[in-house]
Amino acid sequence: MSIAARSLFAFDNSFVRELEGLYVPWQATFVPAPRLLALNEELATELGVDGDALRAPDGLAVLVGNATRDGAPAVAQAYAGHQFGRYSPRLGDGRALLLGEVLDVHGRRRDLHLKGSGPTPFARGGDGMAAVGPMLREYVIGEAMHALGIPTTRALAVVATGDQVVRETLLPGAVLVRVAASHVRVGTFQYAAAHDDPTLVRRLADYAIARHHPHAVEAENPYLAFFEAVLDAQASLIARWMLVGFIHGVMNTDNMAVSGETIDYGPCAFMDAFDPATVFSSIDHGGRYAYANQPPIAQWNLARLAETLLPLLDVETDTAIAAADGVLQSFPDRYRAYWSDGMRAKLGLADGRPEDGALIDDLLALLHAQGVDFTSCFRALSSSARGDTEPVRSLFDEPSAFDAWAERWRARLSSEASAPRAIADAMDRVNPVYIPRNHHVEEAMAAATAGDLGPFRRLLDVLAQPFHERPGLEPYTGPAPPSFGAYRTFCGT
């Protein structure tokens, strides 16, 4: 069942027009009485739509997929993927729908995508629904990443369905409305490569080039240039994750977008005490997607993308493999360059010096050895640059080891052209004081599930300005208390 409503968005569905074979037209499960839980006013304005119109009945009908539009049906996108290293040839949007694409006020094409909108032909036996807690969680983490300057999908809205979702217990249901540069994934290319239509990968590659990496068209080999652009975007993205202690948790190939945006906030979390082996996901028993493994896993995923592009790179298979491998092997150096630049900025070092690598690595080794909170330490270093060493020293159980490192660091800072206060101010612009601390996220989601959105709204407000320290928000600056225990995350399905 659906209702007809004049859309608030001027949808233009290029994916549907150009990529037949990679989607199935589908209708969302009807929501009789949708209730708005959260609306991203800033993002609505960016998309050129009035927030009050989205709150109205016709607006809510669009947000949950109730409204139908002649000639522009919603679609479930098809993709394959390696999930924890095992290939699944047919995944797709099992509980999600692409409503359509809109041009925002800056002229950028953006997908409007539903999650929790009911089962599709790709549901694989699932109920297609989503619960309030995980959908609000994706809203929170996406907004935090956006405020941190990390490319990401964002939530436009979360709408309660009024239905109960059966998981370990009954939970209130919700639909998430997600906005992305696109939802074209490495897994989309894998699905196309396994398709009977030999032209599909080329059509998909041409589409992705035009939409995300148009400069590749001018290259001698546009498809190799496309692969290089995707690889470079991912090297930059993963470096940004690592610089803030973010752990995605489910880096399957179907969760890697060729746009370079972070996509799918399932079992993700932010690290407190620095430990390269940190894993939060309850299903990642072998630590495949641990914090330190994220760069090599990204390269592994990109190798799967390269495999799908080989027929486009050269008619000679050996030549195509050599070309793709040449680009692929550049990933570690590209990643290291992005990460090193970011780490130097976190330490207040404007220009690279040969000794900087050891300085960075030795600090991280100290943090690991003494279980020091990653975010708090880097933020407190700016106080040390201003002359107050106590905030950072107090984080170490054995501060003498830090003191020895800090002497080297201060000697390095003395060679910088800027004054200490200017250096400290620059450090504060890249070292957040507020991140989505896991215990606060869980508190907010539990309260929202019980009907209280207050903690969720307060957390959003805190995370909207992650680099600006504000009085009264001290409880949001530190790691979880010992009573919180070992943290585990779940996919939210």
The DSSP H or E segment spanning 25 is strand 23-25
**CA-to-CA dists, residue 162 to 15, 172, 358, angstroms:** 32, 7, 55
The sheet that has 23-25: what strands, in order across it?
23-25, 75-77, 96-103, 109-115, 170-180, 154-166, 35-39
The per-residue pLDDT for range 378-434, each reduced to its tens digit, is 999 999 999 999 999 999 999 999 999 999 999 999 999 899 999 999 999 999 999
The H-or-E segment that residue 102 falls in is: strand 96-103
Q: Which of 93, 163, 254, 272 is catalytic?
A: 254
Residue tagged 């989607």 (tokens):
23
Side chain identity at residue 483, one-letter code:
S
Q: How confident is the model at residue 491 (pLDDT cuts 50, 70, 90)?
A: confident
Report the percentage of the chain scoring pLDDT > 70: 97
Indicate the SS3 state at residue 260: coil
| Euclidean distance between CA atoms 266 and 250, whole angstroms | 7
pTM: 0.96
Question: pLDDT tens digits for 303-339?
Answer: 999 999 999 999 999 999 999 999 999 999 999 999 9
Per DSSP (E only), the strands in 123-211 are 154-166, 170-180
Which residues does residue 262 pair with via DSSP β-bridges, in sequence order? 152
Q: Summarize pLDDT for 82-120 with one digit per residue, the tens.
A: 999 999 999 999 999 999 999 999 999 999 999 999 999
Q: What pLDDT band is residue 5 in, cutting at 50, 70 and 90?
A: very low
Cα distance between residue 112 and residue 449, in whole Å: 25
Three-state DSSP state, 485: coil
What value does the mean pLDDT of the chain take? 95
- How many other CB atoms are found less than 10 A from the CB of residue 311? 15
pLDDT of 1 reads 44
pLDDT above 80 for 70: no
Q: Is 364 helix (H, G, I), strand (E, B) or coil?
A: helix
Q: Any catalytic annotation for residue 254? A: yes
